Amino acid sequence: MQRKLIIIFLGLVLFGLAGCSNNTAQEQHTTDLTISAAASLTDAMKEIKETYESQNKDVTLTFNFAGSGKLAQQIQQGAPVDVFLSANQKWMDKLEQQQFIIKETRFNFTGNSIVLITKQDRDFYFSSLQSIKLSGEKQLALGDPASVPGGMYAKQALQSINKWTDLKGQMVYARDVRQVLTYVESGNVALGFVYASDALISDEVKVITEVDQNLHQSIIYPGAVLTASSNIKDAQAFLDYLKTKEAQEILQSYGFEKKQP
C-alpha cells in the first residue's frame, strides 16, 4: 500500500513538472517582428512599441531606424524585415516594383512638414525661405537628398525658389534627419532642415521658418508588410494598429500629421 502511494505521489509530481514545463514553453513563445522605420519616427515608435506590446503580450517589436533610402537598400540586399515604414513614397514605390512588399498591405499612416531650425542661442531671423543668407563659414545641414526623404524635400523647396545653387557650397549632408538635428544642437552647423516632428522633441533648437508645402512633394509616410516576412499575419496586425485612434494620437503628439488618404 505504501509503495502504491509513493508511486502515485511520484506520478503527480512528474505530471506537475510536465505541466509547468508546458506552461513555461507557452509563456516563452512570442513573435518577434522586425520593423525598419524612418529615423524621424524614432520617438513616436518607441511609445507605440510600449503601448502595442502591453496589449499584445505574445508580440515583441524590434525597430531598425535609419534614412528611408538606406533601409530600402538593406531590404533589397536581403535584410530580414517584417514591416517597412518609409518617410516618402519613392522608396516604397521601388520596393513595390521589385515585389519586396505585399502591395495589398500598403497604406499611408501619417504625414509631416519640413522646417528650418537653428540653435536656441543663435540670432537668425528669416521671414521666409527666400531670405536665407549664410555668411562666412556658416553651414546648412540637410539629409542626403539621394537617400534621405527629408533632404530630398528640402532640396525640392530650395530649387523651387532658385536658392539651391546659391547655398549648395555651404551644405553639409547627413545620413538622416536625426543627424541633422544633432549637428544643429551641437552648434556644428548654423542651420538645418528637419521635420516638424524632429524640431518638436528638442529643447535646444528653435524653428526659424516653416517650409511652404507647395514647394515640394507631399510628405506622406507609407507602411507595408514585406513579402519575405515569416510573420505576415502579425505584421499586418501591427500595421492595422497604426490606423487606430490611439496610434494616431501618439503620432500627432510627436508632431506628425493626421493619417493621409
Report the mean per-residue pLDDT for the chain.
89
What mean pLDDT do residues 240-252 have?
Answer: 96
Spatial separation of the C-alpha atoms in residues 191 and 135, rounded to whole Å: 12
Assigned C-alpha cell, 81: 524585415
Q: Which CATH superfamily is domain 28-111+219-253 in?
A: Periplasmic binding protein-like II (3.40.190.10)
Of the listed ranges 2-11, 109-118, 226-235, the one predicted with least confidence: 2-11
Res 19 pLDDT > 80: no
Spatial separation of the C-alpha atoms in residues 48 and 65, rounded to whole Å: 14
Kind plus residue range of the DSSP H or E element containing 49: helix 42-55
Could you tell me where in the chain the CATH 3.40.190.10 domains are found? 28-111+219-253, 114-215
In angstroms, the Cα distances linking 221 to 52, 177, 211 are: 19, 15, 18
> pLDDT at position 222, please?
97
* Terminal C-alpha separation, the chain: 76
Res 26 pLDDT > 60: no
- Sign for the CA dihedral angle at 183, 185, 191, 192 comes to positive
Res 180 pLDDT > 90: yes
Spatial separation of the C-alpha atoms in residues 175 and 151, rounded to whole Å: 9
> What are phi and psi for residue 99, nearest 5 degrees?
65, 35
> pLDDT at position 14, please?
45
209-231: per-residue pLDDT in tens?
A: 999 999 999 999 999 999 999 99
> pLDDT at position 214, please?
95
CATH topology of domain 114-215: D-Maltodextrin-Binding Protein; domain 2 (3.40.190)
